[in-house]
Structure 1
């Protein structure tokens, strides 16, 4: 098992509302971080779930 598989399975088990709430909470905590740090973090979330990364990136598109 890779280090991202457990996180991916947990995310996939969530309801759509839970996924959106998680993405909102993560995005809020990343809002004022440096862009390079934010990109690195988004990449890690993308390794666990491309869908989660998509949810997060949508929140940073203005």
Structure 2
């Protein structure tokens, strides 16, 4: 609940995660990916994931 409140109050929200985290099932779910304005990941993020995020209105930044 605290994370959701913080993201809701922010003017922009960023998710920083390496590519190995995408497509995995986590033991808990804190926020939906749609909660974020930007996703920052490494260059090994598959193009299909980048495209899916962009279709959801999320800007993807690869480092």
Instruction: Identify the structure with the greater strand proportion.
Output: 2
Instruction: Identify the structure with the greater helix proportion.
Output: 1
Normalized against structure 2, the TM-score is what? 0.39
The higher-RCO structure (CA 8 Å, 6+ apart) is 1
Normalized against structure 1, the TM-score is what? 0.39
